[in-house]
Every structure is written in C-alpha cells, then in structure tokens.
Amino acid sequence: MVLGLAVVLLCCGGVATALAAVAVARQQAASAADLSALAAAAAVLLGPDVACERARGLATEVGAVLTSCEVDGDRVDVVAQVRPSGPLGRLGAASVRAAAGPVPPAAR
C-alpha cells in the first residue's frame, strides 16, 4: 500500500512539473512576442526588413524563435515560439502572437 501511494505521488509530481514547464514556456513566449513587437514597431520607420530583423534578434536573445513578422504600415504583428525544457519539448512549442503600433482613433 505504501509503495502504491509512493507511485501515485511520484506520478502527480511528474504531472505538476510538466505543467509548470509548459506554463513557463508559454510565459517566456508571451514576453518574447511582446518585446519583439515593440522592438519592431520602434524600428518600423527604417523599413519592414530592418524592423523584423530587430524583432528576430531580440527574440533570439531571450531564448525564443520568431516564426512570423508582418509589417502593415506602422503596425507590426509577430509570432514567437518557445519549446518547453525536457522531454516535453519534443511534443511541441508554446506559440504566442503579439502586435504593436499606434492606437486607432476609435479606441482612444
């Protein structure tokens, strides 16, 4: 009975650790997407290529991969991905979309 309880507790601990790793990866992807979008928006007047290159560089610095960067006028949309650490990384990556640019007049 004690051995069975120990196995159950070990499984619960493993699941909790896996969920924590996924949550950390998602938060890291969200931070990378937000920062990359802001960096690109700050450089959008230099051209879309420069803006997206700055976004990619910043995403790489924080441990993410920028999978998409689209510039539409002065608005920038980016998608950043982060793979969870450990064996969960083989199952997929956390992906987050962010946008930056001026606030539309109707939203003010």
pLDDT mean over 68-75: 93
> Quick one: which of 57, 50, 94, 95 has its CA closest to 76?
50
pTM: 0.81
pLDDT tens digits for range 15-67: 888 888 888 999 999 999 999 999 999 999 999 999 999 999 999 999 999 99
Backbone angles phi, psi at 104, to 5 degrees: -65, 150
Average pLDDT over the chain reads 90
How far apart, in whole angstroms, are the C-alpha atoms of residue 93 and residue 64? 10
Percent of the chain with pLDDT over 70: 94
State the pLDDT at residue 107. 60
